[in-house]
């Protein structure tokens, strides 16, 4: 039991760290976004490239902050492996999955936005606007919701839940121990009287029974466990999420798809050069090399921190008799959650680059300050002396 509390404390500390770095990201981006809005007012309707990036970074920061706040109580409940209603357990388990998937989608959007901003500097402002970026973010959110609950769409969840109550899946991924109390009302006694007096809404649908606790005609002193005794079992990710979902859906969306996306951009940067470069020939290679280093760091951390977690689930899918030790699963989960710190830290703009991001294009001669006037007059006088007009 002490191991579980220590493990939960480490995970909660990591969640608090995610909240801190996400709030830091929001504060850093909000200051630069005000400068971008001021430049948009001075330059008309033209959208600055940094404004779209600021919107995406703010989304990443808000998701990280709210996700870290939600994951603290959810982590404790899931680690204790307490008996819960099936539909309550689905919500508890799928919330971290949803947050992780949406975070990885935002990571890919931010990386792609930086890549397009670097290689299509001339057409970027006309192609990418805030409205289009927010529409893409909304589409990613819908995809994240659908993939997070994909296992429970069109599936007889209650039968799978009942069949897994007495199976080995309730023992956890190598985390054996007497952590939970006995399941309530799973005896051979006749069902309670309220079963005949209530109406289950959507009984044969995936969400069937979710509203039954609010729709009981006989209002006696029935406990929450008595009402939901037909779908009541130990609540943990391994008792709800199947190995097929972990490998074929979750692994593809949060590991393989980001890995392929980042790797494709990394190889493109290595094999090609920017098309539309500014007048200064020293800046594009500098930005190009910095983005290559950032992509290499992101790819390395993605593989090192996330691959052990997915290897364990792949082994459980292919060899169900394999039971990894408790420490191996704990370390894999800890490394997997540690990657939540990488996107906010990676996209937090340094203070010295705040002014550089807001002025990515060279200043035209017509917008030079009055201090350039003496140089212009001296140039014309020299031209008049060397080439006098006839």
Q: pLDDT of 211-232, one tens digit each?
A: 555 455 444 556 666 666 777 7
Give strand pairing partners of 234: 83
In a domain, residue 356? The reply is no
In a domain, residue 230? The reply is no
Q: pLDDT of 242-254, one tens digit each?
A: 899 999 999 999 9
In a domain, residue 223? The reply is no
In a domain, residue 108? The reply is yes
Nearest partner of 169 among 225, 231, 232, 234, judged by Cα: 234
Give the mean model confidence (pLDDT) for residues 350-374. Answer: 47
Q: How many domains is the chain partitioned into structurally?
A: 1
In a domain, residue 366? The reply is no
Reading the block at residue 199, the tokens are: 């109406």
Long-range contacts of 186-190 (CB under 8 A, 24+ apart): 186/229, 186/232
- Residue 157 — pLDDT band, cuts 50, 70, 90? low
In a domain, residue 183? The reply is no
In a domain, residue 190? The reply is no
In the numeric block, the tokens 């990657």 are attached to 339
Q: Distance of CA 348 to CAs 28, 164, 210, 258, 360, Å?
A: 7, 44, 41, 19, 18
CATH number of the domain enclosing 323: 1.20.1070.10
| pLDDT greater than 70 at residue 263 | yes
* Residue 241 backbone dihedrals phi, psi, to 5 degrees: -90, 130
Q: Which domain holds residue 31?
A: 2-43+52-158+236-348
pTM score: 0.73
Reading the block at residue 217, the tokens are: 């005609």
Distance CA 91, CA 288 (A): 42
Question: What per-residue confidence (pLDDT) applies to 287?
Answer: 61
In a domain, residue 315? The reply is yes
């Amino acid at each position: 039991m002490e191991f579980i509390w220590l493990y939960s404390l480490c995970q909660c500390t990591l969640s608090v760290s995610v909240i801190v770095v996400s709030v830091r990201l929001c504060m850093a981006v909000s200051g630069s976004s005000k400068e971008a809005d001021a430049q948009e007012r001075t330059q008309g309707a033209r959208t600055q490239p940094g404004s779209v990036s600021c919107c995406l970074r703010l989304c990443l920061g808000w998701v990280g902050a709210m996700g870290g706040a939600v994951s603290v109580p959810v982590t404790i409940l899931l680690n204790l492996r307490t008996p819960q209603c099936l539909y309550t357990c689905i919500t508890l388990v799928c919330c971290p999955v949803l947050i992780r998937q949406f975070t990885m989608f935002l990571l890919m959007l931010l990386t792609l936005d930086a890549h397009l901003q670097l290689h299509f500097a001339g057409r970027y402002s006309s192609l990418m606007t805030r409205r289009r970026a927010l529409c893409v973010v909304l589409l990613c959110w819908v995809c994240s919701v659908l993939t997070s609950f994909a296992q429970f769409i069109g599936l007889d969840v209650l039968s799978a839940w009942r069949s897994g109550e007495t199976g080995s899946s309730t023992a956890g991924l190598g985390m054996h121990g007497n952590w939970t109390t006995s399941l309530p009302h799973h005896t051979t006694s006749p069902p309670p009287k309220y079963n005949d007096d209530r109406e289950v809404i959507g009984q044969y649908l995936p969400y069937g029974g979710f509203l039954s606790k609010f729709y009981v005609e006989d209002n006696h002193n029935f406990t929450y466990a008595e009402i939901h005794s037909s779908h009541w079992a130990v609540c943990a990710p391994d008792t709800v999420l199947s190995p097929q979902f972990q490998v074929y859906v979750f692994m593809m969306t949060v590991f393989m798809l980001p890995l392929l996306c980042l790797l494709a951009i990394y190889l493109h940067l290595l094999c090609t050069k920017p098309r539309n470069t500014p007048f200064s020939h020293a800046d594009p290679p500098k930005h190009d090399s910095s983005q290559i280093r950032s992509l290499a760091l992101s790819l390395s951390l993605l593989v090192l921190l996330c691959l052990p977690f997915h290897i364990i689930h792949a082994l459980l899918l292919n060899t169900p008799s394999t039971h990894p030790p408790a420490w191996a699963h704990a370390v894999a989960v800890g490394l997997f959650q540690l990657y939540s710190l990488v996107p906010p830290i990676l996209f937090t703009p340094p203070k010295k680059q705040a002014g550089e991001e807001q002025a990515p294009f060279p200043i035209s001669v017509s917008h030079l300050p009055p201090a350039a006037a003496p140089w212009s007059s001296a140039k014309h006088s020299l031209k008049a002396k060397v080439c006098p007009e006839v």
